[in-house]
Amino acid sequence: CSRWEEEKKEDGVKWMQLEHRGPYFVPPYEPLPKDVQFYYDGKPLKLSLATEEIATFYAKMLDHEYTTKEIFQNNFFHDWRKEMTSEEQEIIKDLDKCDFGEIHKYFVDKNEARKALPKEEKQKLKEEADKIQEEYGYCILDGHREKIGNFKTEPPGLFRGRGEHPKMGMLKKRIMPEDVIINCSKDSKIPEPPEGHKWKEVRFDNTVTWLASWTENIQNTLKYIMLNPSSKLKGEKDWQKYEVARRLKDVVHTIRAQYRKDWKSKEIKKRQRAVALYFIDKLALRAGNEKEEGETADTVGCCSLRVEHIQLHPQLDGQEHVVEFDFLGKDSIRYYNKVSVEKPVFKNLQLFMKNKDPGDDLFEHLNTTFLNKHLQDLMDGLTAKVFRTYNASITLQEQLKALTNPEDNVAGKLLSYNRANRAVAILCNHQRSIPKTFARSMQVLQEKIDTKKKQVEEAQEEVKKAEDEFKDTKDAKAEVNVEKKKKLLKRLEEQLARMNIQATDKEENKQIALGTSKLNYLDPRITVAWCKKFGIPIEKIYNKTQREKFAWAIDMAGEDFEF
C-alpha cells in the first residue's frame, strides 16, 4: 500500500501532529551606497531610509512595461508620498521630476555581477540557500518529514496584479512577525519568533492544513504558508479532486437533461439557474462569487454577469442564436467569445435582458450559494468548479485520442499533446501576453531552419552525385558512399522536420498559457497513461517539480487508465 493510501482520520481532522520553524522572514533593507543617488528636479536628494527603500522598488522596475502605465505611476506615487517624512513631502510633489536612473543602473550592474560570479562563489550562495531551505523548508506532519511550499514571506514591493488591475503600483508592505498567525500542534516545539518580536497569535487548529497565515495589505486577502504540492496531504487532496470530477462523468447526462427541462420552468429563478449552468458546463465559465464593493477589480463570472457583458445576435457570421460575451474574468483577463447557443437559451436570455439597464445583473435571482446548493443536491461534492475540471480533463483525453498518430516520432506526438493541451487552455480562457522575447527567439529559430534547409539541399546534391558515380563505376566503394550520403540526408531531413514542428508549436502557443490547466485542471493520470502507451518519457511533459507534484499519478496510472 503506497503512502497515498495510509490510515484515514475522522472527518475534518487533517493532522494529529504538526511541527515547524515558522516562516523565514525576508532580510531587512540594505541602504544604497553613498555614491548612488536619487535626483529630484535635476538635483541630488538624500532620502530617509523608508522613502529610499520604496524608491528602489520603482527603480528596479524602470525597464518594465508597468512603470509606463499611468495607473501604476499614480498608485505608486500616492503610496510613496504617504511613507515620506514631512520635509520630503514638501519637496517631492511630481513623479516626472524624479530621476531613478542611477539607482536603476546600480541594481542592473549588481544583477550582472551576480551572474558573472565564479563557480565556487555561486556554489557558496547555493549552499547558504540550501541551509535556509533545510532549516525552514520542512515540517513534521504525523511523523513524516514533509516539504513546505512557500516558507518565505513575500518581500515588500509594488503590487503588479494580472491583466489591467486597478491597484497596480500600490505598496506591498513588509510582513512582520506581529502580522503572522502560527498554526501547529499543542505538544510540538512551538516556533520562536525572530529576536525582539512576537507572533500575532499561535493556534492549534488541526482542521486546516496551513502552517502560518497573515493578511496582505493590498486586497486584504489572507495569505497562507502551505505544504509543498508533492506532500502526501496535497497529493491526496489533488487525487480526490479528480475523483470527484470522474464521478460527475456518470451523472452529467442526467444533469444536462435536468437543466434543459428547467429552461421551460414556470419559475424564473430556476430558468436563470439552468441557463447559467449551461454556460458553466458548455463554456467552462467560472461561477463568479459575489465580491465586496470597491475591494478588488471589477471582474465577474457566470452568476455575476451584467446585461452589458453580452450581446444577442439572432444571426451572425452564418450562425444562428449567437451570444457575444465580453467581460473581465478572474485576474482581470478578458473573456471574449461568440457562441451559437440552443434556441431556448437564446429566448431565455432575451427575456432576462428585457427592460434592464446595461449595469443590471443578467441573472438577478441567482447567486453562487444558491447554484452550488443545487449542484450539491445533484451530486455529493459537486460545485461549479468541478465542471471546469471535468470538461478540461475529458477534452484532453478526447483530443489525445483524436490527434495522436501512433506512427509519428516523439516530436510529432509531443506536438499532438501540446495541441490537445491548447484545446483545453482555450476552453478555460488561459491567456498570456505574447512573451517579450517571442519575436527574437522566433527569428533565431527561423534562421536555424533556413540554414538546415540549405544543408538538406546540399545533401540532396551529394546523394545525386554519389548515385551518378555509382552508375558509372558500379564500384562497391561507391555503393557504400551512396548509402552513407542517404543516411546523412535522412538525418538532416528529420532535424528539419523537428525544427518545423517546434516553430509551429511556438507560433500556436504564443498567446496561450498551458501551465495553468496542466497543473490545476487536467487529471495527470491521463497524461501518464498516454506517455506509457506511446513510450514517451514522462519528463518530456512534466518537469521535476511537476513530477513531484504528480508522484501519486505516476505511481497509480497504467496505460489503460480512462478518466
Q: Please write the tens of the pLDDT for every residue from 142-198.
A: 888 989 988 999 999 999 887 778 899 999 999 999 999 999 999 889 999 999 999
CA distance 166 to 297: 6
Grid coordinates given for 288: 463568479
Low-confidence ranges of the chain (pLDDT < 50): 1
Instruction: Give the active site residue among 24, 335, 521, 542.
Output: 521
Which pLDDT score, from 0 to 100, does residue 1 have?
41
Name the CA dihedral angle for 471, 476, 478, 479, rounded to a multiple of 10 degrees.
Answer: 80
For residue 345, which amino acid is it?
V
**Cβ-contact 349, 310 below 8 angstroms:** yes
Domain parsing of the chain, residue ranges: 18-26+122-230, 38-120, 234-380, 392-556
**Cβ-contact 164, 332 below 8 angstroms:** yes
- The kind and range of the H/E element at 233 are helix 232-262
Which pTM does this prediction carry?
0.73
Q: How far is CA 334 from the centre of its chain?
A: 16
Give the start-end residues of each E strand in 131-192.
Answer: 138-141, 144-147, 157-158, 171-172, 181-183
Does the active-site annotation cover 335? no
Through-space distance between the first and last CA atoms of the chain, rounded to whole angstroms: 22
Digit-coded pLDDT (tens) for 185-238: 998 899 999 999 999 999 999 999 899 999 999 888 889 999 887 778 788 889
Q: Does domain 234-380 have CATH number 3.90.15.10?
A: yes
Q: How far is CA 345 from the centre of its chain?
A: 32
Q: Does domain 38-120 have CATH number 3.40.50.720?
A: no
Which CATH architecture does the domain made up of 18-26+122-230 adopt? Beta Complex (2.170)
Which fold, 392-556?
Topoisomerase I; Chain A, domain 4 (1.10.132)
**Cβ-contact 139, 43 below 8 angstroms:** no
Which pLDDT score, from 0 to 100, does residue 7 have?
56
